[in-house]
Structure 1
Amino acid sequence: MNIKNLFNEKEVVFSFEIFPPKQESKIDIIYNTLEELKDLKPDFISVTYGAGGSLSKNMTCEISSVVKKKYGIEALAHLTCINSTKTQVDYILNNLKESGIENILALRGDIPSNYDGISEFNYASDLISHIKKRNDFNIVGACYPEGHLNTVDLDTEFKILKKKQDSGATHLISQLFFDNEYFYNFLDKTNEYNIDIPIQAGIMPVINTKQIKRIVSLCGAKLPKKFIKIMNKYEYNPEALRDAGIAYAIEQIIDLISSGVDGVHLYTMNNAYVAKRISTNIFSILDTINNCEKVIN
C-alpha cells in the first residue's frame, strides 16, 4: 500500500516509529514490542536504520517485512545515504523490494567521524532522486520545524524541503518538538515556498531525565517553560515523570489534531506501554472526529 493514499482517505494519519535493537540486544525485544503494538492498529509503522551498527541496518528490512506480512500493518523503512555508494543503496533497495516493502523514508543520515566529504550521496534529496528513478517505491522525507542543526538558516531549510518535494517525496515527517507553535509557524512558512505535500508532526513522549538530555543534545529541540517545570518537579520521581511526559504528549497531540494537522507520527522508543497509553486516548478522539465527518457528509 502506498502510504501517500492514506492522506486522501483519513482526516488524521496516525503512525508509530520503532527501531531495531542494538547489537548487544536480543532481536526478540522488538518482536515482543510489535506483539503489543499490533492491536493498536496504527496506519503504518516506520523502522529506523543503522542506529545500532551494521546489525540494525540488516534488521531494518527484516523487521519492516514482519510488520507488513505478519501483522498486516504498512511498513515504512528508513534508509540513509551519506558515505554510501549507489551500488550499496541499490542492493538495499532490491532487498526491500523483494521483501514487499513499498515505502521508504529517505534520509541523509548522521555524518560519520571518518567522512572525507566525498560521497555519491551528499543530501537526502540526492537519495530521493535516485530512488525515484526506479519507480518502485513511495518516498517520504524528513523535515525540521526548529531547523536542522546543520542548516545555516530557515530560508535554506525550506529550499531544501522544496527540493525534496520536487525530487519525489510525497509526504514529510517532522523531527520531534515540544512546543506546537514551532510546528504551526513552520507550516505557515511551507506555504510561502509552495511546499504542498502532507506533513506529519513528530511527537516523542519523554519519560525520564536522561532521555530529555540526550534528545536536546542530538536534535536541539527547545524545551518550553511548562515542560521544564514538569521535569524539575518530578525529577526524582520516575513514575510521576513518566506519567507527566505521557500527559504532555497527549496534550500536544490533541492540540495538533484540533488544529487540523495532516497526521501524527509517534516516536515510541520501543516502549509499548507508553504507546498504548497515548493511543488509547488519541484513538477515541479520532473516532469522534471520523463519526462527526460521517454525519456531516
Structure 2
Amino acid sequence: MKISELYQTKQNQETPSKKTLSFEIFPPKKDSELKNIDKTLSVLCELNPDYISVTFGAGGGANRNRTIELAKRIKQEYHVEPVVHLTCLHYDKAEIDEFARVLTNAGLQNVLALRGDKNPNMREKESFLHASDLIAYMKDKWDFCFLGACYPECHPESEDKVCEIKHLKAKVNAGAEVLLSQLCFDNHAFFRFQEACRIADIQAPVIPGIMPVINAAQIKRMITMCGATFPVRFQKIIQAYESNKEALFDAGMSYALSQIIDLLVSDVEGIHLYTMNNPLVARRICEGIRNII
C-alpha cells in the first residue's frame, strides 16, 4: 500500500480515525547482524505501526543494500508497509534506476527521497543535487509514493526559514506526498513550522518526528547534525540525569510522552518515532498513548 493512500483514506473517513503511528529503524552494519534484528522487528510489529521507515545503508549497489533487504523482510515476513530511505548525492541516474528496479521487483512502493549527507570520502555526482531532483526524475519513470524530509527548525544549510519553506514547496511540487520531520523537541517550533507550511499551501501531511532522550551523548550529536534546539525543560533533564542512565531513560521517556500527547491532541496526522532500534522505547511509548491514538 502506498503511504499517500493511507493518509487519503483517513482524511476521507466521515468519523474521526486513529492517527498514524510509524517507526524508523536502521539496518545493521554487518550482514551477519541482520538475523539479530528479528527481536526488534517482532516487538515493533506487534505494536501495529502503520509503516516502518528504514534508513539508507550506502555502498555495495542496490542488490547488496541492507536497507532494501531489511525492508523486504518487514513487508514479506511481518506484513507491515516499509518506507525505504534513498539518498542521491553520490549516485548517478543509472545507479538510481538500479535501486528503483530492485525496489519494484521486491514490491516496495514507498521511498523517502533524501539528498544525503555530504561525505568527503565519497565523490558527489551532478545528477541529483537535491531530493527534489531525485523525486522529479524518479516520478517520470517509476511508480512509487514519494515521502520527503522536512526540518521544523531549518536544515543546517538553509539560509533562513523563508528559503527553507521555498525548498520544501519545491520538493512537494516535484512529487513528495507525505513529509516526515527531523527530530524536534520543541512543539511550539513544530506548530510554527506547520502554520508556515499551510500559508505556503503545502497540502501534504506533515508528520512530526520524535526521538526519546535515552542517551545524552547520542542526542547531543543528533541535535548538532539536524539543527534542533534544546527547550529549557529538555536542558534540565539532560543536566540533571546525564550521569544516571536509568533516571535519564525514565525522564526522557516521560518528556517524549508529554510531547507526543500534546501533538496528538493538536492538529497533527500522526507521529513518527525514531526508535534507534530500541524496542523497549517503542513499547513504552505505545503503552503511554494506547488509548489516544
TM range (shorter): over 0.9
Task: Tell me if structure 2 keeps the 8 A contact 1:22–1:55.
Answer: no
Check whether the contact 1:200–1:261 (CA below 8 A) recurs between aligned residues. yes
Q: 2:14 — aligned with what?
A: none
Alpha-carbon separation, structure 1, partners of 2:123 and 2:107? 35
Segments of 4+ moved more than 6 angstroms: none
Distance 1:241 1:25 in 2: 32
Report whether the alignment pairs 1:149 with 2:161. Answer: no
For structure 2, the residue ranges without an aligned partner over 5 or more in a row are 11-16
* TM-score of the aligned structures, taking structure 2 as reference length: 0.93
- In the alignment, is the contact (CA less than 8 A) between 2:52 and 2:83 conserved in 1? yes
| Contact 2:91–2:125 (8 Å) recurs in 1 | no
Give me the whole-angstrom Cα distance separating, in 2, the residues matched to 1:76 and 1:283. 23
1:274 paired to 2:284: no
The Cα of 1:55 is off from its aligned counterpart by: 8.8
Could you say which residue in structure 2 is the equivalent of 1:8?
Answer: 8
Q: How many residues align?
A: 285
| 2:183 partner amino acid | L
User: Would you say 1:241 and 2:240 are equivalent positions?
Assistant: no
The within-5 A match list for 1:76-91 is: 76-91=83-98
Amino acid at match of 2:112: L
Matches of 2:122 and 2:81 in 1, distance apart? 34
Mapped partners of 2:122, 2:165: distance in 1: 26
Contact 2:21 2:50 (8 Å CA) reproduced: yes
SS in 1 for 2:22: strand
Q: 1:33 to 1:55 in 2, by over 3 A?
A: farther
> Could you say which residue in structure 1 is the equivalent of 2:82?
75
Distance 1:218 1:91 in 2: 29
- Answering whether residue 271 of structure 2 is matched by residue 264 of structure 1, we say yes
* SS class of match (1:270): coil
- What does residue 70 of structure 2 align with? 63
Contact kept, 8 Å, 2:89 with 2:124, in 1: the verdict is: no
Q: Contact (CA 8 Å) 2:84, 2:111: kept in 1 or not?
A: yes
> In the alignment, which residue of structure 1 is the partner of 2:187?
180
- 2:29: which partner in 1? 22
User: How big is the shift at 1:135?
Assistant: 3.8
Report the CA distance between 1:59 and its aligned residue. 0.8
Q: Does 1:207 align with 2:214?
A: yes
RMSD, aligned α-carbons: 1.7
Q: How far 1:44 sits from its partner (Å)?
A: 0.3
User: SS where residue 195 of structure 1 aligns?
Assistant: coil
Partners of 1:207 and 1:277 in 2: how far apart? 12
Distance 1:65 1:112, change over 3 A: same
User: Post-superposition shift, 1:32?
Assistant: 2.0
Task: State the secondary structure of the residue aligned to 2:91.
Answer: coil
Q: Deviations over 1:5-49 (max 9, x none)?
A: 221334411100000012387222322210121110100000000
Q: Which runs of 5+ in 1 are unaligned?
A: 287-297
Matched, 1:283 2:276: no
Give the secondary structure class of the aligned counterpart of 1:233. helix
Q: Aligned to 2:204, which of 166, 190, 197?
A: 197
* Counterparts of 1:59 and 1:170, CA distance in 2: 25
Q: Give the Cα–Cα distance (whole angstroms) in 2 for the partners of residues 125 and 259 of structure 1.
A: 29
TM-score where L is the length of structure 1: 0.91
- Name the residue aligned to 1:33: 40
Aligned-pair distance for 1:4?
A: 0.9
